[in-house]
Amino acid sequence: MSHKILNSIVLVLWMALIIFGAAGLIERLRHGHESAAYGSYVVWGLWVSAYVYFIGLSAGAFLLSSLIYVFGVKELAKVGKLSLFMAIVTLFMALISIWFDLGRMDRFYMVFTSPNFGSMMAWMVWLYTAYTLLMLVELWMALRPDLARWAGQEGWRATIGRVLSLSKGPLNEKQEQSAGHWLRVLAAAGIPLAISFHGGVGALFSTLSARPFWHTPLMPILFLTGALVSGGALMAFVVAGFWPKRDEEYRRMVEYLGRAVLGLLVFDLILEWAEFSVPMWYGVGGEYALLMTVLFGPFWWAFWILHFGLGTLLPMLLLVLKPKQPWAVGWAGVLVAVTFMTVRLNIVIPGLIEPHLQGLQNAFVHRRLTFHYVPSLFEWQVTLFVVALGLAIFYLGRHLLPLTEEASEHAR
């Protein structure tokens, strides 16, 4: 009974979220960028940050699934399919976020028809196109044996199974082996692909010599680590919170994920220390001033409270003190995964708020020509719409596809 009430509450909240978000979407489609707060000097804002954030989650979840398939991590063997699916969902969220940011949404295809392979952005688009295709085939290989088993049964599962597995009944042993074989091959080939495309997202920023805040060789490494931390944390949360069967194996799985997240958090903290301490150490220079703005400027709380307190310290404490408790790992996971958005915002926006030519902000005054940026309500609406959409796809996938152990069991 209480389960039912909880479900209805979640549904009502989701409906509120998607209606609130859809209002922003309609505004975006009808009036373009009119209600957005970014402009000509701070050209990128919430949506680009959200894009970087979601694509990081995707790369992280994907790398986790690949490690499972390629290296055969026994403790996590069953998380592979769910990780892969999460990687696809978050990639989709990333791509629509960045699509809304384009000045000409109708011309996105130009990156395919007229690519400049000297541009990091063109590389990024081509690499994540390859990544999308690879993931779709890989997920199909991972799910096909179970889907084919569904195909032989009755009810809605049979229909889904038949359509998606392209098979009328269970696969024979040879077919199953072949699916497993190609799954491993694609998972392994996906590792360098995911590293290059997400490192490439970091390089997209760090190759710009005009932006000293971004122009650091550490950036691609920082992006990859961030992806692993946030994607791993997301998976720890999803497994801890949504795994159907709460047995001993589940507890071992969650503990393993928790330990991985803790290790990655520590490594990320070391990189972050380098990122802040090196430019700031002697207290002089342009980057010193920018980092001081990040740490003690008007949005100090985004760094100290959201990122450092809730996103780093508290999860670390939970993971160190209660490593065997699924609730602790789940909370640590969701805290890290959600608050990681502040890290992305603190990379994208400070890089743009400092003019090289002092006084430019007063030269020709307009609200689009300032170096001050706070995301508008409309921008949040569009991002929340993307979140609501992602949640819906996750929900549907979890219920309609054999992504977890329970679902696979229906197949036997």
Partner 1 sequence: MGMNRREFVQVGLLVGGAGAAGAALLIKTNLSKETSDPTGAATVRRLPVLNNIRPQENEDMLVRMQRELVRAMAKPVEQRHWRMVIDTRKCIGCHACTIGCVAENKLPPGVVYRPVVTEEFGEYPNVQLRFTPRPCMQCNSPPCVPVCPVKATWKRPDGVVAIDYDKCIGCGYCVTACPYNARTRDLGEYYTDGAAVGATREPDRPVLGPHAPWEDKPNNEYAKGWDRRNGDSPAGNARKCHFCLHRLEVGQLPMCVTTCVGRATYFGDGNDPESVVSQMAAKPNSMRLLEHLQTHPSVVHLI
- The DSSP 8-state label assigned to residue 285 in this structure reads S
Rounded to a whole number of angstroms, the minimum distance from the CB of residue 55 to partner 1 is: 15
H helices within 33-155, ranges in order?
A: 46-71, 80-101, 110-113, 120-151
Residue type, 225: T
Q: Which residues contact 242 (CB under 8 A, 6 or more apart)?
A: 398, 404
Indicate the residue among 13 and 105 with the shorter CB distance to partner 1: 105
Any contact of residue 2 with partner 1 (CB under 8 A)?
no
Choose the binding region for partner 1 from 162-170, 204-212, 234-242, 244-252 (rule: CB under 8 A). 204-212
Any contact of residue 215 with partner 1 (CB under 8 A)?
no
DSSP element (H, E) containing 386: helix 377-400
Any contact of residue 36 with partner 1 (CB under 8 A)?
yes
Which residues 91-110 are close enough to bind partner 1 by CB under 8 A? 101-104, 107-108, 110
CA–CA distance from 95 to each of 39, 137, 235, 403 (Å)?
21, 19, 20, 23
Cα(275)–Cα(68) distance, integer angstroms: 31
Any contact of residue 357 with partner 1 (CB under 8 A)?
yes
Q: Identify which of 356, 290, 352 has the alpha carbon closest to the alpha carbon of residue 45.
A: 352
Six token digits for residue 259:
């330990």
Any contact of residue 30 with partner 1 (CB under 8 A)?
no
Choose the binding region for partner 1 from 56-64, 221-229, 318-326, 362-370 (rule: CB under 8 A). 362-370
Question: 158 — phi, psi (to 5°)?
Answer: -65, -45
Six token digits for residue 327:
């609730």
Which residues 107-166 are close enough to bind partner 1 by CB under 8 A? 107-108, 110-111, 114-123, 125, 130
Indicate the residue among 139 and 332 with the shorter CB distance to partner 1: 139
CB atoms within 10 A of CB 78: 19
Indicate the residue among 84 and 337 with the shorter CB distance to partner 1: 84
Q: Which residues contact 54 (CB under 8 A, 6 or more apart)?
A: 90, 91, 93, 94, 97, 386, 390
Q: Which residues contact 220 (CB under 8 A, 6 or more apart)?
A: 199, 200, 202, 203, 206
Indicate the residue among 224 and 262 with the shorter CB distance to partner 1: 224
Say how many residues touch partner 1, by CB under 8 A.
63
Choose the binding region for partner 1 from 34-42, 167-175, 310-318, 324-332 (rule: CB under 8 A). 34-42
Crossing angle of helices 46-71 and 80-101, in 10° steps, is 160
Any contact of residue 256 with partner 1 (CB under 8 A)?
no
Any contact of residue 41 with partner 1 (CB under 8 A)?
yes
Choose the binding region for partner 1 from 30-38, 165-173, 276-284, 402-410 (rule: CB under 8 A). 30-38
Among 160, 189, 271, 314, binds partner 1 (CB under 8 A): 189
Using CB under 8 A, list all residues that contact partner 1: 32-34, 36, 39-41, 43-44, 69-72, 77, 101-104, 107-108, 110-111, 114-123, 125, 130, 180-181, 184-185, 188-189, 192-193, 204, 207-211, 351-352, 355-360, 362-364, 366-369
